Structure 1
Amino acid sequence: MPTEVIITKDGSHSIAIPELNVTYHSHHGAIQESMHVFIQAGLEYLVQQAATSPVRIFEMGLGTGLNSLLAMQYAELHQLPIKYEAVELHPLADELVQQLNYCTEIDESLAPAFATLHQSPWQQPIALTPYFNFTKHRLSLHDFAFNNPFHLVFYDAFAPAAQPDLWTTEVFTKIYNGLLPGGIFVTYCSKGDVRRALQAAGFIIEKIPGPPGKREMIRAIKTEKV
């Protein structure tokens, strides 16, 4: 399916799939959206709530690798060990990845690790930096086994209109069971159907301010305390 690199309003790149009328990030700014939704509302919030090390993060939708890159930057800045796993059934072509300007915009020193992130073998853990251990799985979420529970889930699937099978109570129950007690789930989507499906799976829902261009987002908590 044809894809193309686009420039979002904060100057950072995203990927568009015109045939599906979807983009990998907000037109209002890819980096600022990922920072707001996944790092500030997810990782920073988790760190404030509990002294956990290493932090285990699962990402639904590796995509461009932007969320992974920002988590890696956070790990290095705060000397916080992170074990990060992501699933991606349809990885980006190398020529698209090479065009992305994230390291130029964020931290040029992370460029070698970002390249290795995309080039590394599937299903093989790799230490990308002293504090960031990374594993990517070329799998559908439906086929991923949560053998080691996580503290935090970055849920970055395409919107429900494009991927309705990834926003169901059944899927969210699987994720709920794959989280540690007190675990956190964050996503940019705040649709009522999504909130109700998360609640049916057992999560406590918080509607919190969204990134620029979006009024709200969801943070969901597995009910037990860490």
Structure 2
Amino acid sequence: MERQVIITADGSSTIHLPDWNEQYHSKHGAIQEAYHVFIHHGLHRCYRLRGTHDPKISILEIGFGTGLNAWITFLEAKTLNITIDYVGVEAYPVPMEEVLQLNYPEILNADDGANTFKTLHRLSWEAHHDISSHFSLTKQKKFFKEINDENTYHLIYFDAFGARVQPELWTESIFKRMFHALKEQGILVTYSAKGSVRRAMQNVGFTVEKLPGPPGKREMLCASKPISQ
């Protein structure tokens, strides 16, 4: 499948798949979308819910992809003075030659983190790596349907390719795995706001809330795992 590194509306890059007419991030702004969906409505919300008494958060990312979400979470962990254990699942890792074309450190003026961004991709898979005192990373090369974690994560970044091109990733069977992987009161955030996605989440037990979407999207979804009765 043909792949192209392109520039999105906020100046940050992403990978475009012409055969699918699909991108790894929003064409309206890769960095804007990542911060809006996964940091502001995901990490910050999770941090507020947990409070400062236990500043340790475990995160599962569904679609490690370009590493953008992992990298800005690494930056945010230091800013918030929290400890994050991050697990990124990806069946088809992005080749290093494409990673080197992505301009996230330059756009965010985070030159001191540029080496870390590259390191996230160069680290071995299926192993736990301590990146800093605030952030550790484990990359797992597998399909989402192979996730069998139970009561493990406080937060899930659900960043799979859209349901238009990969509907099998947005089904009840997948969200049931997400539900089991989360701890009670854990949350899942995604850029999608499709009715079928919301219903699939609700059918497996999530409480689902519509939130304002990132630039170019009217809404996004945040799903919470209730406390067992």
Tell whether the structures are fold-level matches, with TM greater than 0.5. Answer: yes
1:135 aligns with 2:163: no
- Counterpart of 2:84 in structure 1: which amino acid? I
1:159 aligns with 2:162: yes
- Counterpart of 1:76 in structure 2: which amino acid? K
Over residues 157-191 of structure 1, what are the superposed CA-to-partner deviations in whole Å (9 max), with x where a residue is unaligned? 01111111111111101110110000000000000
- Counterpart of 1:100 in structure 2: which amino acid? L
Q: How far off its partner does 1:147 sit?
A: 5.1
Q: How far off its partner does 1:144 sit?
A: 2.4
Over residues 196-215 of structure 1, what are the superposed CA-to-partner deviations in whole Å (9 max), with x where a residue is unaligned? 00000100010000001100
- Counterpart of 2:181 in structure 1: which amino acid? G
Q: Match for residue 206 of structure 2?
A: 203
Over residues 22-75 of structure 1, what are the superposed CA-to-partner deviations in whole Å (9 max), with x where a residue is unaligned? 101111100000000000000001111112432000000001100001110101
1:43 aligns with 2:43: yes
Equivalent pairs, count? 225
Q: Give the TM-score normalised by the residue count of structure 1.
A: 0.97
C-alpha distance in structure 2 between counterparts of 1:64 and 1:129, whole Å = 20
Over residues 78-114 of structure 1, what are the superposed CA-to-partner deviations in whole Å (9 max), with x where a residue is unaligned? 2210000011111111110001010112211111111
User: Which ranges of structure 1 fall in alignment gaps of 5 or more residues?
Assistant: none
1:181 aligns with 2:184: yes
Q: How far off its partner does 1:143 sit?
A: 1.3
User: Which ranges of structure 2 fall in alignment gaps of 5 or more residues?
Assistant: none
Over residues 109-145 of structure 1, what are the superposed CA-to-partner deviations in whole Å (9 max), with x where a residue is unaligned? 1111111110110011111122110010110111123
C-alpha distance in structure 1 between counterparts of 2:204 and 2:5, whole Å = 36
Q: How does 1:17-166 map to 2 (within 5 A)?
A: 17-51=17-51, 52-106=54-108, 107-146=110-149, 149-166=152-169
Q: Is the 8 A contact 2:87 2:138 kept in 1?
A: yes
Q: Match for residue 9 of structure 1?
A: 9
Q: Is the 8 A contact 1:57 1:152 kept in 2?
A: yes
Question: Percent of aligned pairs with the same residue?
Answer: 42
- Counterpart of 1:18 in structure 2: which amino acid? P
Q: Is the 8 A contact 2:147 2:177 kept in 1?
A: no
Q: Give the TM-score normalised by the residue count of structure 2.
A: 0.96
Which runs of at least 4 in structure 1 moved beyond 3 Å after TM superposition? Answer: none
SS of the residue 1:129 aligns to: coil
